[in-house]
Structure 1
Amino acid sequence: MVTVTLSDSQVRSAVSMPEAIAAVRRGFVDLAKGEFEMPSRISLRQGRFLVMSAHHRPTASAIVKTVSVNFHRAPSIAGSVVWSETAHPQQLIADAAAITTLRTGAAVGVATDLLAPADAGVLTMIGAGAQAPDQIRAVHSVRPLRRLTVVDVDPARAQGLIRVLRPEMPETELRVGVDLATALGDVEIVCCATNAAEPLFEASALPDSVHVNAIGAYRTTMRELPDKLLRSSSVVVDDVQAVLEESGEIVHAIYTKAITPEALTSLGTALVEARDHGPRTVFKTVGVAMQDWAITSLLANKFLG
C-alpha cells in the first residue's frame, strides 16, 4: 500500500483558492442532492478534539479528519485528514490545519459569490487569527476588493495580517480598523472569524444592504452575530442540522424566537434554487466534513493519480 503524506506547505502549493472554491461549490450541490454520507461531528472535551468523516457515494471515496483545537497556541488547529477509496489501496494523509482554513475560506467564497451584490468590494474582517487570511483571499477571489479593513483586539496582529496580504492585493486599499463601528459604517461584506462568546456588534451598526459571513462560533457557547441581524436577514447555512446542533448564534436566535429553523436555507439548496435573498444576507458555517472531502479530493487527484 502506498501512503502519500502532505505538509501544510505542500497542500497550499497544490491547491489555489479558485480551485478550492470550485471544488467546495460542487460539494455543496452534491450534499444537497444527497450524494454524501456524513455523520454528525464527534466533539470531545467541549470541542477541543473533533472527529469528522464524509463518504461521497458516486466516487466511493471518504475522508476522516481528526483535530485538536487550542486558541492559546499556534497553530490553533492541529491534526490530519486521511483520504481513502474503495477502488485502490492507496491513501493520502494531509495537514488538517491547511485543509481547514482553505475549505472554510472556500465555503465563504461560494456563499459570498452567491449572496453579495455583484459590485460589492468593501470588506471588514473581524479577527486576524489563522482563519482570517483565507477568508479574505476567498472573498477577494469572487469580489475583487477595493478596500479591506481588518479589526482585531490586538492591532499589531491586524497590521501583521495586512503585511502578509499586501503583496497579494496591490490594487486594494488596506487598513487597520481601530473602531469597529466606523469599520462597519459603509461596509458591503463582513467576515467574522473570532472565538467570541457574545455578539461582536449590533445589527444597527450595519448598512441596510450587507452580506455577513460568520465562521468563528462552532460551539453552542459561542456567538458572533446578534439575534436582530439574523431576524432581519436571509440566513444561509452550510448544513441545517449541523448549525442546529453546534452554532451558538443560531441556537440562541431560535430560543429567543428571533428566527425559526424553517428560516434557514442550506447553501447547497440556495445554489440550485435561484431566488432573491434580499438586501441583508448572512452565511453561517460551523464547518462540515464534505468541505474537507472537497479539498482532499483535489489533492488525491494530483498526488494519487
Structure 2
Amino acid sequence: MKTINLSAQEVREAVSMREAIDAVRRGFVDLAGGEFEMPTRTALRNGQFLVMSAHHRPTESAMIKTLSLNFDRVPAIAGTVTWSTLDKVDSLIADAGAVTTLRTGAAVGVATDLLAAPDADRLTLIGAGGQAPDQVRAVHTVRPLRHLTIVDTNTERAGALADTLQAELDGTEIRTATDPAAAVSDAHIVCCATPATSPLFPESALPAQVHVNAIGAFRPTMRELPDELLANSTVIIDELDAILEESGEILHALEAGAITKDDLTELGPALTAAPTDHGKRTVFKTVGVAMQDWAIARLLADKFLS
C-alpha cells in the first residue's frame, strides 16, 4: 500500500488547463447521465469549512475534499483532496487549493466554450484573488484573448496579477481598473470572482452581446449578479440542487420573481443537447460541485498511481 502526497506545485505541473477542461467537460456529461453519487456538500461555520464527496460508478472511484476558507489569509483555500478506488489499496492526497482553483477555472472554460461568441477575445475579470489566474487561463484556452481588464479595488493586487499573467499571455493587452461597471462596457466575456454580497454592476453596464461567468458567490448571503441580468439572459448552472442550496444570486432572483426554476439549465445536459442559439446574453453560474474535484483527482491518479 502506498499513498502519494502532492503539493500545490506538483498538481500544477502535472495537469494543464486544457487537460482540466477536457476532464471536467467529460465529468459534466457523466453527471447528466447519472453516473455519479454526489451528495450536496457540507458547509460548517457559514461556509468556512467545506466537505465534498463524489463516487463515479463506472470506475468505482471516489474523491473526498475537505477544506477551510478564509479570505483574510493567503492562500484563502487550504485542505486536501483524497482519491481512492475499490480495486487498489493505493491512494492519492492532493493540495485542495490547487485542485479547487484549477477545477473552477476548468468549469468556466467548459461553459465559455459552449456559450461565448466564437470570436470573443475581450475579457473583463472582476476580482484579483486566488481564483483569478485560473479564470483567465481557462478562458484564454478556449477563446484566445487579445484584451484583458483586471478589476480590483486593491490596485497593487491587480497590478501583481497583471504582471504574472502578462508572462503567460503573450500578445494580450492587459490593463487594470477599479470600476466594474465601466470595465464591463466593452467586454465580450466577464468573469466574476469575488466574495461580494451585492451585485458588482448593473445590467445596463453590459454590452448587448456578452457571456458572464460568476464563480465567487457560494453561499446564500453572497451575490455578484443583478436580478435583471439573470432575467434577460440564458442562464446555465452547474447543478440544480447545489445552486438552490448555495447560490445567493439565483435564490435572490427566484424570490424576487425575476426568474423561475424552469429558466435554469444544467451544464451537462446543455453540452449534449443539439446546437442552439443561446441568445445574446448568457450567464454561467457555478457554486462548484464535487464531480469537478473528482475529475482533476482522476487525472492525477492516472499520472501517479497507474
TM-score after normalising by structure 2: 0.99
* Counterpart AA for 2:294: W
Q: Which runs of 5+ in 1 are unaligned?
A: none
SS at structure 1 position matched to 2:223: coil
Partner Cα distance (2:17, 2:135) in 1: 10
SS at structure 2 position matched to 1:297: helix
Q: Deviations over 1:142-174 (max 9, x none)?
A: 000010000001011100000111111111000
8 Å Cα contact 2:51/2:67 also seen in 1: yes
1:254-293 alignment runs, 5 A limit: 254-274=254-274, 275-293=276-294
Partner Cα distance (2:180, 2:109) in 1: 23
Aligned-pair Cα RMSD in Å: 0.6
Who is 2:18 aligned against? 18
Who is 2:95 aligned against? 95
Who is 2:50 aligned against? 50
* Counterpart AA for 1:282: V
Deviation at residue 182 of structure 1 after TM alignment: 2.3
SS at structure 2 position matched to 1:168: coil
Q: Would you say 1:194 and 2:194 are equivalent positions?
A: yes
Q: Which runs of 5+ in 2 are unaligned?
A: none
- Percent identity over the alignment is 66
* Counterpart AA for 2:290: A
8 Å Cα contact 2:181/2:200 also seen in 1: no
Who is 1:299 aligned against? 300
Partner Cα distance (2:132, 2:221) in 1: 21
Partner Cα distance (1:287, 1:180) in 2: 24
Deviation at residue 178 of structure 1 after TM alignment: 3.4
Partner Cα distance (1:185, 1:86) in 2: 51
Deviation at residue 180 of structure 1 after TM alignment: 2.3
SS at structure 1 position matched to 2:299: helix
1:7-156 alignment runs, 5 A limit: 7-156=7-156
| Alpha carbons of structure 1 residues 67 and 181: separation in structure 2 relative to 1, 3 Å | same
* Counterpart AA for 2:248: G
Who is 2:232 aligned against? 232
Deviation at residue 179 of structure 1 after TM alignment: 2.8
Deviation at residue 231 of structure 1 after TM alignment: 0.2
Partner Cα distance (2:266, 2:153) in 1: 32
Partner Cα distance (2:248, 2:183) in 1: 24
Partner Cα distance (2:168, 2:116) in 1: 22
* Counterpart AA for 2:61: S
SS at structure 1 position matched to 2:34: coil
Who is 1:212 aligned against? 212
Deviation at residue 293 of structure 1 after TM alignment: 0.2
Partner Cα distance (1:80, 1:34) in 2: 26
SS at structure 2 position matched to 1:194: coil
* Counterpart AA for 1:116: A
Partner Cα distance (1:153, 1:178) in 2: 5
SS at structure 2 position matched to 1:104: helix
Deviation at residue 3 of structure 1 after TM alignment: 0.4
Partner Cα distance (1:282, 1:89) in 2: 42
Deviation at residue 184 of structure 1 after TM alignment: 1.1
TM-score after normalising by structure 1: 0.99
Deviation at residue 284 of structure 1 after TM alignment: 0.3
Who is 1:4 aligned against? 4
Partner Cα distance (2:153, 2:249) in 1: 21
SS at structure 2 position matched to 1:185: coil
Greater than 2 Å deviation, 4+ residue runs: 178-182
Partner Cα distance (2:125, 2:81) in 1: 28
8 Å Cα contact 2:181/2:202 also seen in 1: no
State which drifts further: 255-264 or 171-180: 171-180
SS at structure 1 position matched to 2:31: helix
Deviation at residue 241 of structure 1 after TM alignment: 1.0
Partner Cα distance (2:88, 2:182) in 1: 55
